[in-house]
């Protein structure tokens, strides 16, 4: 059919009007055109910049370049457990509590909620022309350092002491933050602090952490490798030196390991003012110009600090080249492009997220769910918990019961709905329940100061004492104002007044239940309190909905299902020298500690007894290159619904070098109705069986292995604490192909 000319013109006009706006738009500069390849856009922009403009963009507080239409941008934003230090947003549990959930799907959902709120805040600030610190889209989270010693004050920012758990939770967080669009990042996550960084806080600007090749490859680096493999946008280098090399100029860590071996193509940022430490404290460089030059040669792309302010002068002095500046600038500009900062808003997938996302009803409920699953039940004598909903009288006491600080940890945001544990209990109590409260003791002084109001424990049907630590006592250098050790702790025992306080309550309670709720982000030693209390809960720093979540568990609306992401030692004397970074040869973390802990890694009770039983033989044989399908039946033998964290641990028998006593290799969460069973299956592949030798090489050793599947790490103390007995498997590995070095 032949169309008339007017009809042809009309059809052409309709087709043109239906084409994307992008095709009709003209751009002043090619780098502004989202239709061009990213490589071309970045190269075009760099080619239009002067040396001084290039180096200014590599500072964290990058200025605007008006002649090119480049807006001001501050790279420094935080989102460890919610958008932090910014406008009010949802406050989720502190990172150590996220690890205690053993629930990566839940943490990914939380990460997605955080980046949604971060996007909404960022868009709101752009509309008002605001470019403040903490309001950007480059979140310097998560902290995936290994919590090797409970005396480290910043340990509650981490996901605990196990590299597999840390990598799994960290990866889920990153996926949630960054989204899954192939073009645009929802926000940019950043793994920190690279590497071998975990105290002492007082010496972090001068400290030289010495780590063996085995410990590096087995403990300190695997979580970073996991996040790099999974596409994390950024990595932050640490303040300290590692094996004599400044972490932010380390050829071993940055150029060899991160860039060459792992193929990391994202951006690298210094910890804040870490480049200044190189010449001011470490004395590995002689001037800011030299520090800047070595950093840019190490492909450090963003300087949190001021040293890159001298980078152009370093180039003029011949200490670095402009080509090296271009190489470093390229990687960080790609992040800004992928965040859509140079594109029309209508082109950017996430630009439509509005302010209604900030602290939404769904996010508040999600914060409560995460907090519920982070709570760990450590003791429940004679089923003291859950409390009856219509209990007659409750006495709530303890210095942490009404304290907002114990909800938020550090690197926190704020919101309008901070629910303390006292408020949570009061909100759950029936109209006929008497709820009485007193702080009970005065903290911060050596003498015991116990309130006369504690007589209420003599009349109450149950007493809930909320004790433990707070971020005032453990945290980053300068933040924990009640710490005498720059945020660290000298000892892990709870202060003596808290011990005396619980003794006094025990006497007053008589045979009525005494429930102790322990707040804090690290392992604490309190064996005497364990003996005195009828029930013990560890709740970490549970976020804005922490009070409701704790009350949900206390009153049985949900059963506790959290697991310890760290070993709770029985005494400080069980720990080695705090400054000794040896893991395998130092007997550190549950994988190498040979003593008896107070509570072992992975431990946690529920309200229903759980039974583990094999579905077949417990004597197995496999060949190299053939995966093993391992099945176990998990049964809820109680009368309440229960979520169980099923954990797989492996030990290599008779290895020619130190190997973990048992190491977490996989876990799954299962939901079980009363009386229900579920068969849980794990696929064991070669990577789970490889061990790291003293030279730091991964190797597959033939011969005998022991596997355990249970609800905690397989330490014998679990049985005495009321935990379920694990299923033990004896496994023989037969090597048929020697594709890796084999020790026979």
Where would I find the beta strands (DSSP E) of 447-534?
Answer: 462-468, 514-519
List 271, 330, 423, 544, catalytic entry = 271
The strand pair at 393-397 and 434-438 is best described as: parallel
Please state the φ and ψ torsions of residue 523, each to the nearest 5 degrees. Answer: -70, 140
- List the one residue out of 262, 270, 241, 228 whose CA is nearest residue 140: 270
Q: Look at phi and psi of residue 647 and say left if phi exceeds 0, alpha if psi is from -120 to 50, else beta.
A: beta
535, with CB counted inside 10 A (0-12, 13-18, 19+), is: buried
DSSP structural state of residue 556? T
Preceding peptide of 702 cis, ω within 30°? no
The kind and range of the H/E element at 457 are helix 456-459
Q: How many CB atoms lie within 10 A of CB 125?
A: 16
Per the document, the length of the chain is 744
The strand pair at 241-242 and 245-246 is best described as: antiparallel
Q: How many CB atoms lie within 10 A of CB 173?
A: 31
> Which residues lie below 8 Å from residue 163, measured CB to CB, with a gap of 6+?
146, 218, 219, 220, 222, 223
Asked if 364 and 417 count as a contact pair (C-beta separation under 8 A), the reply is yes
614 three-class SS: strand
**Rounded distance between C-alpha atoms, residue 602 and residue 645, angstroms:** 9
Task: Give exposure, 616-627, as e/b (b: 16+ Cβ within 10 Å).
Answer: eeeebebebeee
Distances in Å between the Cα of 394 and the Cα atoms of 272, 316, 503, 619 are: 47, 72, 18, 52
Instruction: Say whether 490 is catalytic.
Output: no
- C-alpha 233: how far from chain center: 16
Q: Which spans in 128-238 are helix H?
A: 163-178, 213-215, 222-229
- List the one residue out of 150, 694, 235 whose CA is nearest residue 474: 150
The kind and range of the H/E element at 710 are strand 703-710
Instruction: Say whether 474 is catalytic.
Output: yes
**Rounded distance between C-alpha atoms, residue 258 and residue 467, angstroms:** 42
DSSP-assigned states of every residue in 258-286: IIIIS---SEEEEPTTHHHHHHHTS-SSS
**Rounded distance between C-alpha atoms, residue 568 and residue 166, angstroms:** 17
Where would I find the beta strands (DSSP E) of 8-72?
Answer: 61-62
| Angle, helices 38-47/322-338, rounded to nearest 10 degrees | 130
**Rounded distance between C-alpha atoms, residue 375 and residue 391, angstroms:** 22
Asked if 710 and 682 count as a contact pair (C-beta separation under 8 A), the reply is no
The strand pair at 234-237 and 267-270 is best described as: parallel
List 277, 474, 486, 488, catalytic entry = 474
Task: Give exposure, 75-111, as e/b (b: 16+ Cβ within 10 Å).
Answer: bbbbbbbbbbebbbbbbbbbbbbbbbbbbbebbbbbb
Name beta bridge partners: 393: 434
Catalytic site positions: 271, 474
């Amino acid at each position: 059919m032949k169309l008339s000319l007017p009809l042809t013109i009309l059809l052409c006009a309709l087709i043109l009007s239906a084409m994307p706006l992008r095709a009709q738009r003209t751009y002043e500069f090619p780098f502004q055109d989202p239709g061009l390849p990213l490589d071309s856009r970045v190269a075009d922009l760099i080619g239009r910049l002067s040396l001084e403009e290039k180096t200014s963009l590599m500072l964290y507080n990058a200025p605007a370049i008006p002649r090119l239409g480049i807006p001001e941008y501050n790279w420094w934003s935080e989102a460890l457990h919610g958008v932090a230090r910014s406008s009010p947003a949802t406050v989720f549990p502190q990172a150590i509590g996220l690890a205690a959930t053993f629930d990566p799907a839940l943490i990914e959902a939380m990460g997605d909620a955080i980046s949604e709120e971060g996007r909404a805040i960022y868009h709101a600030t752009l509309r008002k022309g605001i470019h403040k610190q903490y309001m950007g889209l480059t979140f310097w989270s998560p902290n995936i350092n290994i919590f090797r010693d409970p005396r480290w004050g910043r340990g509650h920012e981490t996901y605990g002491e196990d590299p597999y758990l840390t990598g799994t939770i960290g990866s889920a967080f990153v996926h949630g933050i960054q989204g899954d669009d192939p073009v645009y990042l929802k926000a940019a996550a950043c793994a920190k602090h690279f590497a071998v960084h975990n105290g002492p806080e007082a010496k972090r600007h001068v400290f030289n952490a010495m780590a063996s090749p085995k410990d590096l490859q087995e403990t300190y680096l695997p979580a970073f490798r996991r996040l790099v493999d999974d596409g994390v946008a950024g990595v932050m280098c640490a303040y300290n030196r590692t094996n004599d090399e400044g972490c932010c100029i380390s050829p071993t860590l940055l150029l060899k390991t991160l860039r060459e071996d792992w193929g990391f193509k994202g951006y690298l940022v210094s910890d804040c003012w870490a480049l200044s430490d190189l010449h001011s404290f470490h004395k590995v460089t002689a001037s800011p110009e030299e520090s800047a030059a070595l950093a840019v040669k190490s492909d450090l792309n963003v300087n949190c600090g001021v040293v890159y302010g001298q980078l152009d002068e370093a180039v003029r002095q011949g200490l670095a080249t402009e080509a090296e500046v271009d190489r470093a600038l390229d990687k960080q500009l790609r992040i800004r492009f992928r965040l859509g900062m140079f594109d029309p808003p209508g082109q950017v997938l996430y630009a439509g997220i509005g302010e209604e996302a900030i602290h939404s009803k769904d996010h508040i409920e999600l914060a409560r769910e995460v907090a519920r699953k982070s709570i760990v039940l450590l003791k429940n004598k004679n089923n003291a918990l859950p409390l009856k909903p219509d209990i007659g009288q409750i006495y709530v006491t303890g210095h942490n019961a009404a304290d907002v600080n114990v909800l938020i940890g550090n690197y926190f945001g704020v919101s309008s709905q901070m629910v303390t544990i006292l408020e949570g209990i009061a909100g759950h109590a029936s109209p006929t329940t008497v709820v009485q409260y007193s702080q009970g003791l005065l903290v911060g002084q050596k003498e015991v100061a116990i309130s006369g109001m504690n007589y209420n424990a003599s009349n109450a049907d149950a007493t809930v004492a909320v004790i433990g630590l707070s971020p005032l006592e453990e945290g980053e250098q300068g933040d924990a104002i009640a710490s005498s050790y720059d945020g660290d702790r000298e000892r892990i025992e709870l202060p003596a007044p808290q011990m005396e306080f619980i003794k006094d309550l025990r006497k007053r309670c008589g045979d009525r239940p005494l429930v102790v709720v322990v707040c804090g982000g690290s392992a604490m030693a309190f064996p005497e309190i364990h003996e005195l209390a009828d029930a013990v809960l560890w709740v970490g720093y549970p976020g804005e909905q922490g009070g409701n979540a704790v009350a949900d568990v206390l009153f049985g609306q949900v059963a506790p299902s959290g697991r310890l992401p760290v070993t709770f030692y029985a005494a400080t004397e069980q720990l080695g020298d705090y400054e000794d970074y040896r893991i395998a040869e130092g007997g550190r973390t549950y994988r190498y500690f040979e003593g008896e802990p107070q509570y072992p890694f992975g431990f946690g009770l529920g309200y229903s007894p759980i039974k583990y039983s094999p579905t077949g033989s417990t004597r197995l044989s496999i060949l190299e290159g053939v995966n093993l399908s391992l099945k176990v039946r998990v049964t809820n033998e109680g009368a309440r619904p229960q979520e169980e964290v099923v954990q797989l641990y492996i030990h290599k028998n008779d290895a020619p070098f130190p190997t973990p006593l048992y190491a977490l290799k996989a876990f799954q969460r299962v939901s079980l109705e009363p009386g229900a069973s579920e068969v849980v299956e794990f696929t064991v592949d070669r990577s789970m069986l490889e061990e790291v030798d003293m030279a730091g090489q991964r190797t597959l050793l033939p011969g005998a292995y022991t596997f355990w599947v249970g609800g905690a790490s397989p330490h014998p103390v679990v049985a005495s604490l009321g935990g379920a007995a694990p299923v033990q498997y004896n496994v023989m590995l037969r090597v048929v192909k020697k594709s890796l070095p084999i020790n026979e």
